[in-house]
Amino acid sequence: MAPFTFSAHPTQAQLIASLNHFLKPQYRVYRVSGVILLVLGVILLLLEDYYVGPLALVLGVFCRWGLPPLVTRMVLRRAASLLDRPTDYRIDEDGVWVGNDQAESLFHWKAVDRVDELPGMLIGRLGKAGFFAVPLDGLDPETAAQLTAFIRAHVPARG
């Protein structure tokens, strides 16, 4: 039942969730680095290094808990003029077309290597270089299921 054509205005929560999902591997590096810095800080404090130890602890806390939300906020602030607006979607045999009054993009199926499901949306992965989000929560359940099946049929599971 293609093409699927609809309009949606991605919510702030959807924008944050899709970006956090895409940046999860990068955030994992930040969090692991934070834990390493925390352990190093504790070891240094036990060795009575009261200058570098606390510094490592503060940096560890920041990397573990502060850096991922800060990066998300900065990226969304810079991209808000393109993303935080009513958007049109067309999903057909050519791929996924996404457009609004500022920009448009066509993602051909051969560029999409993975599809992930988040609550109320699908995330199409374009390797490590990018992603697109397709909000489903404004669609009736039957249409959302058909759209999900259509996209999954064009992006076979790769392992």
Q: Identify whether the C-beta of residue 34 lies closer than 8 Å to the C-beta of residue 66.
A: no
Report residue 23 as tokens: 């940046």
Question: Confidence band (pLDDT; 50, 70, 90) for 81?
Answer: confident
- 61-68 average pLDDT score: 97
pLDDT at 129: 85
Instruction: Write out the CATH class of domain 4-9+85-154.
Output: mainly beta
Segment holding 118, helix H or strand E = strand 114-118
* pLDDT tens column, 113-133: 999 999 999 999 998 889 999
* pLDDT tens column, 14-30: 999 999 999 999 999 99
Report residue 18 as tokens: 């899709």
**Does residue 34 register a pLDDT over 50?**
yes
pLDDT at 157: 66
Question: Confidence band (pLDDT; 50, 70, 90) for 159?
Answer: very low
Question: Confidence band (pLDDT; 50, 70, 90) for 99?
Answer: very high
CA 8 to CA 18: how far, in whole Å?
Answer: 15
**Does residue 158 register a pLDDT over 70?**
no
The answer for residues whose C-beta is within 8 angstroms of residue 39's C-beta and 6 or more apart is 60
Residue, of 81 and 135, whose pLDDT is higher? 135
Q: For all residues of the chain together, what is the average pLDDT?
A: 93
pLDDT at 18: 94
pLDDT at 1: 58
Domain boundaries, the chain: 4-9+85-154, 20-81
